[in-house]
Amino acid sequence: MLCARECPDWCIYIEAHKYLAPPRREGGKPRQKNALDRFSIDFSLCMYCGICVEVCPFEALFWSPEFEYSEPRIADLLHDKSQLGIWFETVPEFEAYEPGSEVKVKKVPKP
């Protein structure tokens, strides 16, 4: 949900509902879980800043090489999770960092 909250254009729409799942152990309490009902991005508003990709703690958003998705009607640029899932197939594999670009561990002086 950070993506929708941090998007400067407010063009990510998320809707979900809660439900009770059975307990993990016998005699336990039912667990409350969230189910995603809607995840849509309005590409008529998106400015490709990438903030949504950067802030996601679960790395659930990716850049895709898909860019030719023009539509005759501007309303059709609102893409839901089924369309976004199709583009997921075109996401390139993760490339390893260049040698020497790893984060250096800071040395803490001993007291």
Q: Is 1 in the site for ligand SF4 (CB under 6 A)?
A: no
Task: Single out the residue of 50, 63, 71, 91 in contact with ligand SF4 (rule: CB under 6 A).
Answer: 50
The Cα–Cα gap between 79 and 66 comes to 13
As measured in angstroms, the least distance from the Cβ of 23 to ligand SF4 is: 38
Give burial (CB, 10 Å; 0-12/13-18/19+) of 39.
buried
Q: Is 41 in the site for ligand SF4 (CB under 6 A)?
A: yes
Q: Which residues bind ligand SF4 (CB under 6 A)?
A: 7-9, 11-12, 41, 46-52
